[in-house]
Structures are given as structure tokens and as C-alpha cells.
Amino acid sequence: MPLRSTATARQERLGAELRKMREAAGITARDTARLLGTDPAKVSHIEAGRLGVSEERLRRLASFYQCGDGALIDALVAMANGLGRKGWWEAYRGVVPAAMLDIAELEYYATGLRTIQITHIPGVFQTEDYTRTVFGYVIPPLPTAELEARVAHRMERTGVLYRDSAPPYEAVIHEAALRMRFGGTKITRAQLDHLMELSHLPHISVRIVPFAGSGYIGTGHASLYTFGAVQALDTVQIDTAHGVTFLHAAPHLLKYRTHFERLAAGALDESQSRDFILSASRDL
């Protein structure tokens, strides 16, 4: 298999899981190289996601590392077999930031999705006008062509909500996100109307955390939690002022599951949330 110049987040994740498996077994990269009849540099490339791995090699490695988690091994095999397929997001490579493509890929393969949003409507719930306004605030300002490419990419991401066998999507949104008037009253009202429509889809749960709530408020930033085929392959994506970060260490996954559950415990139920969204729209 040829060496990749860059690796996607999903390719890096496969390599990282193989590295964790090897290290847990106390086996060196040199010993792994001997098993595969190659050199340690190629093992490093595999573990960095820059070099693909066949199903036969992956299963040999799992056996060599004495990994008895059959479900995890099968999930890694499925991941490896799917990495050669190009998704719709690849049309945007070199046009929008690579991290945006990684998010789309994570959503596409997720078995379930959860998001916490404090000041914005979740990305895949956004209308085109709302999205264009949000990207219009990027510093430094984006060239028109790139801004429109980002908007188009985000609109294509919304397809994950409407495809056959769409994954369940749970969103906990703070009232602040409903009150922010991105683009003015007309655009905000249309966005809230769209959010209301999505909340009626059977696989989507929208719950609002009101300002008046007295529950847990210990998370101050947005996060997207994507469920993998097995829990060990879950991923957390967070936005920061410096870009996108992906987390998948077990302690991080537990932390963000706990964040979501505690925040959700203080949120309105789905029916109350719809009433709240309607009220916020009328207040505009």
C-alpha cells in the first residue's frame, strides 16, 4: 500500500488503536516489524495512519498482541476495509480545512450522535443563511469563494439527518443559542422554525437548557460526541479558538459522556423544549 502524504482523523484513529493494542501487550515496534517482515519505520507509518493495513495483517497483529476483544477487532477490520472508499466530503479536500472533512466523516460512520451547544445552533441543524452568517464572523474574514465552499459543505453534512437508517441524534442546547440573533430577526426566526421541524423527526431529540435552570452548568464549550461501532471507538470533537480537536482516550470519553448526562438532566424535556423554542421565536 502506498504511503499517504496526510492522514484523515479516521485513518489516524485506526493506527492509534493498533498502537494502543501493541503497547498494552508490551510489544515493541521492532518485534511487530519482524512479525510482518518489514521495518519499524513502516510500523510507525501504520500506527500514524499514513500507511494502510489489510484485514489479514490487522487480524495477525491482534492475535500477536493477544487482544481478545472480538467486537473491537471486527470494528477495526470494518474501519480498515472502509478507508479506501471516498465519501462525498472528499470533493472539498483542499477547499475547506481538513478538520471539517474529518467531522463529516465521523458523522457519516457514527452509530449515534450527541452534541452540547452553548451559543450556536448545532452545525447540521443550521439553515443556509444562519451558516453563512456564522462563517461570516470568522477572523480573519474568509474570501468569498472559501466562505461559500464552507457553507456548501455544511449543507451537505445535513444529509446525515435524512438518509435511510439515520443515526439517533441527541442535542442539548443552551437558551443562549436560541437568543443569539445571527443575521438578524428574520434569519434567526427561520432558524428556530427549522430547529422545531427537526425536533419532530423520530430519531432526533432536542432539549433546551434555560437560563433559569438550576442544574449542572459545568461545561462552557460546544462538543460533538460520536458513537463508534464499539464504545472504545467513540470520539469527541470540540471547537477551540485555535481550531478543531479530536479526543478518544478513555478518560476523555468518560468525561464528555458525564458532561452530557449531567447537562441533559437539567434540560427541559422534548415537549417543553418545543414550547420553549416557539416562545423564543415569538419573542424576536
122, part of any domain: yes
The answer to whether residues 197 and 251 belong to one domain is yes
Q: Is the pLDDT of residue 219 over 60?
A: no
Do 144 and 244 share a structural domain? Answer: yes
Q: Is residue 1 part of a domain?
A: no
What pLDDT band is residue 217 in, cutting at 50, 70 and 90? Answer: low
- 39 and 152 both lie in a single domain: no
pLDDT for the residue 16? 96
d(CA 22, CA 267): 42
Mean pLDDT in residue range 112-135? 97
Is residue 250, in this structure, part of any structural domain at all?
A: yes
> Is pLDDT at 186 greater than 90 in this prediction?
yes
What average pLDDT does the segment 175-201 reach? 97
- The model's pTM is 0.93
Cross-strand bridge partners of residue 93:
96
* Pair 131, 43 in one domain: no
**Domain final position from 26, 48, 82:** 82
Final residue before a domain boundary, out of 53, 82, 111 = 82
Please, are residues 238 and 259 in contact by the beta-carbon 8 Å criterion?
A: no
The residues that bridge with 172 in the sheet, in sequence order, are 116, 207
pLDDT of 72 above 90: yes
Q: Is residue 4 part of a domain?
A: no
d(CA 234, CA 253): 7
DSSP the chain: -PPPSS--HHHHHHHHHHHHHHHHTT--HHHHHHHHTS-HHHHHHHHTTSS---HHHHHHHHHHTT---HHHHHHHHHHHHHTTSPPGGGGGBTTB-HHHHHHHHHHHH-SEEEEEESSS--GGG--HHHHHHHHTT-SSPPPHHHHHHHHHHHHHHGGGGTSTTPPPEEEEEEHHHHH--TT-HHHHHHHHHHHHHHHTSTTEEEEEE-TT--S-----S-EEEEE-SSGGG-EEEEEETTEEEEE-SHHHHHHHHHHHHHHHHTS--HHHHHHHHHHHHHT-
Q: What is the pLDDT of residues 250-271, one digit of tens each?
A: 999 999 999 999 999 999 999 9
Do 130 and 223 share a domain, yes or no?
yes
Q: Which of 280, 271, 257 is nearest to 116 (CA)?
A: 257
| pLDDT band of 220, cuts 50, 70, 90 | low
Distance CA 11, CA 104 (A): 14
Which domain, by its residues, includes 57? 9-82
Looking at residue 218, what is its pLDDT? Answer: 59
Contact 102, 110 (CB under 8 A): no
2 part of a folded domain: no
Section 21-50 average pLDDT: 96
Nearest to 61 by CA among 17, 22, 12: 22
What's the structural domain count of the chain?
2
Query: How many percent of the chain have pLDDT more than 70?
Result: 97
β-partners of residue 223 are 116, 238
